[in-house]
Structure 1
Amino acid sequence: MKTGASDPFGDDETEIEESKMADKEGVTEEQTESETPDSNTVQFERSDLPLILRRDTVKDERESVHQLFVQDSTDGHAKDAERELESLIGDDVYRLDAREAIYLAGMRNLDTAADILREWGYDL
C-alpha cells in the first residue's frame, strides 16, 4: 500500500511501523519512483559535453587573452597550419580553436620548441 493511503480495515500500528521503517531506510516508495527514470534517456551535465558542443560562442570558456606578436614568416605558417588542420579534421575549424590547439601541441612537444629557440640563437 502506498504511504499516506489508509486502510479502514487495517491495523494502524502496522501502518505506523511500516512508515517508521521507510524513514529509517531514508527512502520512501514515492522517492524511489521519482528517482527512477521512465525512459532510456540518461541525464548528463553540460560540462560532460565536448567543448565544441557545450559552448554558445567560440569565446566561451576563454577568459584569458594571450596576445601574440609573430614574425611575418610565422604568420604565413600559421595560416597554412590552420588550413591543414581543417583538412585533417575534415570540417571547418574556428581560428581561435585552431590557434589554441597548435599552442597546446607546442606545449606537449617542448623539445621541438627548444629546437626552434636554438635556431633563433638561444643556445649561443
Structure 2
Amino acid sequence: MTIDEVSRQYMIPRKILEEYESWGGCGAVKKVMGAWQYDGQDLERLSLIMTLHDIGFEKEEIETYMTLTIQGVESENSRLQMLKKKREALLDEIHFREKKVGHLDYLRYEIGKMQKARE
C-alpha cells in the first residue's frame, strides 16, 4: 500500500506516516515506482502507534517506544518500564478525578439536604 492508501484506509494523517518513516520504522517499506509501499508489519506498527497515542503517549514518547520496538527483544524491559510509568500516571489521574467526583457528590448531597429541610 502507498502512503496515501494507508492514510485514507486507516485514517492516519500523512504527517504521522511520514514521522513513522523518519523513525526508521519502515525497514520493510520499499520505494516502488516513486511511492512507498507498506507491508503487514508496517501496518501492525502503525496500529501500535495509534494505540500508544490513544492511551496518552506524547509524540516524543511514541518515537522512543517505536525506536525501542524496532530494536527488538533487548528493549523489552525498557518498553515495559515506559508502559508501567504511563499506567501509574493514568491511575494517578483516575484517582484524582475520582476525588473530584466525590467532592461534587458531597456538594450535591448538601444542596439536596437543604432542599429537603425547606419542604
Which has more helix, going by share of residues? 2
Same fold (TM over 0.5): no
Relative contact order, higher structure (CA 8 A, sep 6+):
2
Provide the TM-score with structure 2 as the length reference.
Answer: 0.26
Which has more strand, going by share of residues? 2
